[in-house]
């Protein structure tokens, strides 16, 4: 029997897809809640990627791709066309969306699709600035544990899902007649591919918004390249260590990550020599061996207890420990605020050569108005720069 078109009534789709499913009344993105075999597969992928217990869901996706040894963009593709469509023919530019990767929400917001997000793995508590900028997210199905009830997705008429390349639920979503796009990124090159593919799938004004954003990104990267060329030789390249999490497991970010790229773009070098991928478990002894000149903590990490012996680090003794900004998404990770991260990092690594927070606050206000359609007050921009939550 051929599949019914997307416009098929929800009740019909529910009877066709859920009839005889038995216990499969819930859909768990990323492996949670699935049969043991699938859950083990997802867990093994995360373990291979270096994602430790307590690591964020966002990072696990990026790490899994990095661990595979290929760019995320190579895996960014449409894997299920959706009922009545072909892989090469996107859906109409207004269908409801499931956002299955936390970091991808910032891409969707930047591309003007915030109001189309009908289901998301994000939550306001974890990303308060995201929900301040895109308040329509409060109306979406929230599944911070990454588990959705199938009937709920059908009632919201979700027709387009963005999930990570390693997500084991893609087949189940496809069986519901949902168009499934697997995408992720762990560096600038794969971020471009993710944005372009997402824009194509969204349709409408999204491709033009993607073009404008990528032009902005290119200019930012070119500016940083010219700026580095002007740095005096005595400035050197500070050795930078990025800590996304102190507890419950100490994690660091290594090479072949977008973190490594912004460190280098800002005139530094990654102190985590020999470490590849993001969210890698490390020990305090390893940190002491690296003994970085500069320590950058994720905003979340800055609110966690540091390990004993932390004060021995050179960066701590010389007062070069910085809290990374966090806005719609953490600037230091896999989000659209990457161009802002470049200048922020440069201002910390080379404070004598890059304007400080007043300039950054203005740039942040301009960025939010331009790409998120949100009028950010200066006080809000300053809170974001400090890694603080909304007042």
Residue-wise pLDDT for 248-302, tens only, equals: 999 999 999 999 999 999 999 999 999 999 999 999 999 999 999 999 999 999 9
Same fold yes or no, 26-210 and 232-385: yes
User: What is the architecture of the domain spanning 232-385?
Assistant: 3-Layer(aba) Sandwich (3.40)
**Statement: residue 6 has pLDDT above 50:** no
CB 199 within 8 A of CB 210: yes
pLDDT tens-digit series, residues 102-124: 999 999 999 999 999 999 999 99
pLDDT at 147 over 70: yes
pTM > 0.85: yes or no: no
For residue 248, cis peptide bond before it (omega within 30 degrees of 0): yes
Show me where the domains of the chain are located.
Answer: 26-210, 232-385
CATH of 26-210, one of 3.30.70.100, 3.40.50.880, 3.40.50.1980, 3.40.120.10: 3.40.50.1980
Cα gap 29→76, rounded to integer Å = 17
pLDDT-derived band at 75, boundaries 50, 70, 90: low
117 within 8 A of 140, measured Cβ to Cβ = yes
Asked whether residue 148 carries a pLDDT value surpassing 80, the answer given is yes
The per-residue pLDDT for 34 is 29
pLDDT at 200 over 70: yes
What are φ and ψ of residue 141, in 5° steps?
Answer: -65, 130
For position 69, what pLDDT does the model report?
Answer: 31
């Amino acid at each position: 029997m051929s599949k019914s078109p997307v416009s098929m009534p929800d009740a019909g789709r529910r009877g066709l897809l859920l009839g005889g499913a038995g216990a499969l009344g819930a859909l768990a993105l990323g492996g949670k809640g699935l049969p043991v075999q699938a859950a083990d597969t997802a867990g093994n992928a995360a373990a291979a990627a270096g994602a430790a217990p307590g690591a964020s869901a966002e990072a696990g996706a990026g790490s899994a791709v990095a661990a595979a040894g290929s760019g995320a963009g190579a895996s960014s593709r449409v894997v299920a066309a959706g009922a009545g469509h072909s892989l090469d023919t996107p859906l109409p530019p207004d269908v409801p969306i499931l956002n299955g990767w936390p970091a991808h929400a910032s891409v969707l917001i930047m591309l003007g699709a915030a109001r189309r997000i009908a289901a998301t793995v994000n939550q306001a508590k974890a990303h308060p600035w995201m929900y301040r900028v895109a308040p329509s997210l409060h109306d979406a199905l929230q599944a911070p544990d990454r588990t959705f009830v199938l009937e709920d997705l059908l009632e919201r008429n979700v027709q387009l899902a963005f999930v990570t390349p390693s997500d084991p639920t893609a087949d189940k979503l496809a069986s519901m007649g949902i168009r499934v796009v697997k995408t992720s990124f762990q560096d600038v090159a794969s971020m471009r591919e993710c944005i372009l593919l997402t824009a194509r799938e969204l349709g409408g004004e999204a491709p033009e918004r993607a073009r404008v954003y990528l032009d902005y990104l290119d200019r930012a990267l070119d500016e940083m390249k010219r700026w580095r060329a002007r740095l005096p030789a005595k400035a050197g390249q500070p050795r930078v260590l990025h800590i996304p999490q102190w507890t419950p497991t100490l994690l660091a970010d290594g090479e072949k990550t977008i973190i490594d790229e912004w460190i280098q773009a800002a005139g530094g070098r990654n102190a985590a020599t020999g470490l590849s991928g993001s969210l890698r478990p490390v020990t305090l002894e390893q940190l002491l061996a690296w003994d970085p000149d500069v320590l950058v903590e994720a905003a979340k990490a800055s609110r966690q207890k540091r390990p004993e012996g932390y004060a021995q680090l050179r960066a701590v003794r010389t007062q070069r420990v910085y809290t990374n900004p966090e806005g719609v998404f953490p600037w230091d990770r896999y989000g659209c605020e990457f161009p802002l991260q470049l200048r922020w990092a440069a201002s910390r690594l080379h404070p004598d050569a890059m304007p400080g927070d007043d300039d950054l606050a203005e740039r942040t206000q301009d960025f939010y108005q331009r790409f998120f359609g949100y009028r950010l007050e200066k006080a809000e921009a300053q809170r974001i720069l400090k890694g603080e939550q909304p007042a």
